[in-house]
Amino acid sequence: MIQPEKYNERNMLNYKELPKGVLNINLIQLFSTVGYAVLMGLLNFYLNNHTSLTRTEANTLTASFFALNFLFHLLGGTVGGRYLSFRGLFCASLLLQFIGLILIAIHQHTIILIGMATFITGSGLNVSCINMMLTQLFSQDDKRRRIAFSINYSFMNMGFVLSFFVAGILQGHDLYSLAFIFAAACIIIAVLIHLKTWKYVHDKGTYFADVFSKSDARFYVAPVIVIACLIFAYFLMHHPELASQLIYVVFVIVLAYMLFLASKQEKAYRTKIYAYLILTVASAIFACVQGLQSTALENFVEFNTSKSLFGIPIQPATVNMFESLGVIVFGFILASLMKKRQEQQKPYKPGYLVTKGLSFYIIAFLMIPLGIILAGETHLVHVIFPILLLIIVSAGEIHVNAVNYAMAGEMIKPHHQGLFTGYLFMNVAFGINLAGPISNFALGHSENAQNITAASTNPMYMKVFLIMTGVAIVITIIFGLLMRMLNRMLDAQKLQPILESELE
């Protein structure tokens, strides 16, 4: 590993100057996210068009499906590094996603649900693992971690762009199964790259590496947990309303545990934990928007817009591509800005970046009401308005998520990092889970596609996004004030040892 003090700041984005394995992890991120992105773009319409589910039932199941993905991220952060190495659990998760996508491609309701349960178990367990594999390539005080996560986040969205582009084309020809098979092939590529990266991403300082790997229990504990997750996920695919309620309950319980854990730590570490818990709230807001992408916004594009951009037909799955394109561009811009600030010895404070990211959401949410106002007598909104919403959201997203993903490595002690990374995704599960009720509220009482019209649903979308704008304003103000207070506390802790040494 390259030591931070020996590192040449001018080559911040040069892979040769970064720890071995960083480039491979970025490539893994690109191909491993294709399955999730294809489902994000197509699942809602696939369930409505190829099963007996109504539009609102498909909304509820889709939102619960993606929220359950992030609920399992919490479990992945707990199991990975404890009962199985992060790299071992990640490899198993990729294989589960491959099997799940193949099953989802079969046009049979029961098999689709089995495939969804299998995929979501694999997808849910893997993200904490890839984040921890990346974060452990750097020492805890190495600020390059933030740049690495920013670039990694951009690579993930390259995979999303590829996915949404292909998904949009295949959706236009009703070739849903072919899209899922394409995603499964990308998963196999990710597995091959991961096996090549294996030697660089072993666990460091985790419970598994230090203790559990020497126990015979390692051969059966992790498999039992994964099988239990599969059974549990399959049950929840049949009861999506229960899944939604469960996520709210688990979120409250986990938050209470985190606060209890913080109260048992020394003052300096306790303050860092509180700061981390506040930072993660911002991810819940973005997650709600991400959940709306696969439900409300896709419905809005399908039934309430012209579905044409400069004369080019636009499918709902294709619209999501613009958000990922924005993340790629803004990700590299943010990485360059962070590099310049670090060269000047004036790194951005995490609270500043996250508060700035939240402020972008305020502008983004106003795009839909503006489009509805300008729609005129046809009631059909120009598709540029949901596209603008997603591009602006992407600017906020890269500030919020890339920073939050890196914070566990900087603020949390190694033996707690997996748990707190999992908690970050619990916030995301909470946010995505809100998307289902919001989407159904916007549809009103329209259960089937033939009953959904722009004239009848535009007023509901107007109300939903104006309320979200108001909430974003309030949260951004509160968040900014809280982070200023916490930044002062953290700065005071850094100065205290210096003052004590001078007094001595």
Q: What is the CATH number of the domain that holds 142?
A: 1.20.1250.20
Q: Give me the long-range contacts of 263-267 (CB less than 8 A, separation at least 24).
A: 267/493
**Model-level pTM?**
0.72
Coil, strand, or helix at residue 429? Answer: helix
How many angstroms separate the CA atoms of 106 and 277, rounded? 41
For Cα atoms 93, 61, 321, give the angle at the middle one, nearest 5 degrees: 70
**Per-residue model confidence (pLDDT) at position 196:** 93
Query: Is residue 501 a part of any domain in this protein?
Result: no
**Per-residue model confidence (pLDDT) at position 409:** 67
- In 3D space, the residue among 290, 275, 365, 283 whose CA is nearest the CA of residue 323 turns out to be 290
**Per-residue model confidence (pLDDT) at position 486:** 66
Query: Is residue 343 a part of any domain in this protein?
Result: yes
Q: Which amino acid is at 485?
A: M
Coil, strand, or helix at residue 381? Answer: strand
**Per-residue model confidence (pLDDT) at position 385:** 93
Query: Is residue 504 a part of any domain in this protein?
Result: no
**Per-residue model confidence (pLDDT) at position 3:** 43
Token pair, residue 146, equals 């933030």
Number of domains in the chain: 1
**Per-residue model confidence (pLDDT) at position 266:** 86
CB 111 within 8 A of CB 101: no
- Cα torsion 215, 216, 221, 222 to 10°: value is 80
Query: Is residue 277 a part of any domain in this protein?
Result: yes
CB 140 within 8 A of CB 112: no
pLDDT one-digit tens code per residue, 223-244: 898 899 899 999 989 888 887 7
Using a 10 angstrom Cβ sphere, with 0-12 exposed, 13-18 middle and 19 or more buried, the burial of residue 405 is: buried
Q: What is the DSSP letter of 378?
A: G
To the nearest whole percent, how much of the chain has pLDDT over 70?
Answer: 86
Query: Is residue 28 a part of any domain in this protein?
Result: yes
**Per-residue model confidence (pLDDT) at position 12:** 46
Q: What is the DSSP letter of 305?
A: B
Token pair, residue 160, equals 């999303």
Write out the residue range of the structural domain in which residue 197 sits: 19-496
How many angstroms separate the CA atoms of 388 and 372, rounded? 14
Query: Is residue 418 a part of any domain in this protein?
Result: yes
CB atoms closer than 10 angstroms to residue 441: 16
To the nearest 10 degrees (0 to 180), the angle between helices 240-263 and 414-433 is: 140
- 377 CB-near residues (< 8 Å, 6+ apart): none
Query: Is residue 429 a part of any domain in this protein?
Result: yes
**Per-residue model confidence (pLDDT) at position 30:** 92
The stretches in the chain having pLDDT less than 70 are 1-17, 74, 77, 140, 143, 146, 286, 290, 293-294, 350-351, 401-410, 418, 439, 442-452, 486-487, 489-504
Query: Is residue 99 a part of any domain in this protein?
Result: yes
**Per-residue model confidence (pLDDT) at position 399:** 79
